A and B are shown apart, each in its own frame.
Chain A
Amino acid sequence: MSEAAVEVRGMTKTFNAGRPGSVDALVDIDLTIRPGEFVSLIGPSGCGKSTQLRLIANLLEPTTGEVLVNGKSARQARLDQDYGMAFQQAGLFEWRNVAKNVELPLELKGWDKQRRRRRALEMLELVKLPEFADHLPWQLSGGMQQRVAIARALAAHPPLLLMDEPFGALDEMTREHMQSELLRVCGETETTVVFVTHSIPEAVFLSTRVVVMSPRPGRITTVVPVDLGARRGVDTREDPAFFIKVTEVREALRGMPVTDLDEPVREP
């Protein structure tokens, strides 16, 4: 594994640069993520963590600096579909059944019908929803929809998964279950994950490293390495080692001003 999965160098992002009302969303971001890592970005609202994820995904362009994904420019990585993406909203296409939703990225890659179908069923097997292939999205619960979204994000077997608060809209119990499922799925597929969240226990439970960010302008203040072992489960959340790391991340976040901006700044 020679090259980094994600390499961010000297990146800044200024919205409305050079115009009145310009906003420094991110300043001097340097971050290297190795293949197989699970890195969470955490910070108060408005710290630019979603913006940073979108810069890695090349849904936004950085103002300065550069982003490399698998050694390529972020743009090339997007064109090659080198990553899968999942959001807080499952974003399933309501007129497509579950299997067809999972097939969508494969369709855009030009896969033939049989190959797509086979892969979609494999992916549904992976997220334990094989019997729902022909259901429509409205027939599934929120947690099940989010599992379909994860199956879709991983359908083309991308080496990298980018997730923006994917469990933010789920209830606590579903959420904890989904976290374990995500670890299992990413372990089985050996996927590198960049995960945006504002839940400290979620970040600690899932990650190999937690990147703590400060708001306005967003910058990385601390990186907390976490190693709770490969076999994390229900007991992990009651493990003293878990609490120590939760406290460490909470300390790192303490004292940061809390802005009342709920949403990350987007390009107008």
Chain B
Amino acid sequence: MRAVSVGGRRAGRWYGALWPPVAFGAGSIVLWELAVKVFDFQPYFLPPPSAIWQQFKENPQLIWHATKVSGLNALIGLLAGAVLGIAVAFLLARFRLLNDLVTPLAVALNAVPIFVLVAVFNNMFSITSEVPRRLMVTLVVGFIVLVNVARGLREVAPTQLELMRSYAATEFAILRKARVPNAVPYLFTALKIAAPAAVITAFVSEYFGGSQNGLGSRIVASIAISKNATAWAYVLGACLLGLTFYLITVGLERAASPGGVAARRRDGA
């Protein structure tokens, strides 16, 4: 019988998968530090990691505050975008014509860096408003979620659909028992892509004007006054924020599939 326990093996694999990237990352930082010393790079060109860490330690409140502003924008946009994307995906699954109209457009728009639209949104709201940035994140996330969830609702295995028809299942029953559960892994895939994208969009949106309060605008402002190491310290904050968002969605995915359906599929079992 082929039912297997994976508990012990998984622990070993975790460790095995973890140390190479960690070692590589640590090695890169050491090389960076050495390169700055050996080639005597000027601070405006590339500050050493030690100087960046110094700035990071010295300005915890400033970085934390900027992180909160950008993080909140990203979070609100992520949630609103997910709701929007899911809602439209359901509409597309329900109405064939709408699907034929919207899906090619959504796929095409997904390939365009639509965050440049934030300049237009800025014009629509007051200069200190956070709404344009949140709106931008919502749109970026919305498209990613829409495209993936719509595919999950649509691409149910043909055998499963024929079975449901042989049971004389109503369209609603097919939606509830086949399409929606089929789309769940697609949603989490979308969120895993969308979470870091939300953070990036929140930062980049700040480059287009508005309040100088988020990580993105702090990076630009620090560079403008030649505080390069400080700018890099904000970049470090941005990395940590992006990572946090990503880890949250990975955690959500694990919680949502205790049997590990998605994980098992990836493992090719």
Contact = CB atoms under 8 A, between A and B. Distances in A.
Interface stretch (A31-39, A89-97, A201-209): A89-97
Contact of B166 (A83, A89, A95): A83
A139 B4 contact: yes
Interface string A100-119: 00001101100000000000
B83 interface: no
B181 A93 contact: yes
B13 interface: no
B259 interface: yes
Given A79-B168, A93-B178, A59 B162 contact: yes
Contacts of A85: 162-163, 166
A139 B173 contact: no
A59 B162 CA distance: 7
B159 A108 contact: no
A15 interface: no
B266 to A, nearest CB: 11
Contacts of A139: 2-4
A104 B166 contact: no
Interface SS of chain A: loop
Contact of B2 (A57, A87, A105, A140): A140
Given A93-B178, A132-B3, A135-B3, A108 B169 contact: yes
A95 B258 CA distance: 10
A95 B184 CA distance: 10
Interface SS of chain B: helix
B157 interface: yes
Interface string A65-93: 00000000000001111011101011101
Contact of B168 (A78, A91, A94, A140): A78
Contact of B167 (A94, A104, A144): A104
B94 interface: no
Contacts of B3: 132, 135, 139-140
B269 interface: yes
A79 B166 CA distance: 8
B261 interface: yes
A108 B165 contact: no
Contact of B261 (A95, A132, A144): A95
Contacts of A83: 166
A108 B169 CA distance: 7
Contacts of A57: 166
Contacts of B166: 57, 59, 78, 83-85
Nearest to B164: A108
A184 B257 CA distance: 37
A141 B163 contact: no
A213 B166 CA distance: 24
B159 A105 contact: no
Tell which of A90, A97, A107 has the most Cβ of chain B within 10 Å.
A107
B221 to A, nearest CB: 49
Interface string B233-269: 0000000000000000000000001010100110001
A136 interface: yes
A141 B261 contact: no
A138 B157 contact: no
Interface string A127-141: 000001001101111
B128 interface: no
Contacts of B167: 81, 104-105, 108
A89 B165 contact: no
A93 B264 CA distance: 14
Given A59-B166, A79-B168, A95-B181, A136 B157 contact: no
B57 interface: no
19 contacts: A57-B166, A59-B162, A78-B166, A78-B168, A87-B162, A87-B163, A93-B160, A94-B261, A95-B259, A95-B261, A104-B167, A104-B177, A108-B167, A108-B168, A138-B264, A139-B2, A140-B2, A140-B3, A144-B2
10 tightest A-B CB contacts, nearest first: A91-B159, A89-B159, A85-B166, A139-B3, A95-B181, A108-B167, A79-B168, A136-B259, A138-B264, A87-B159
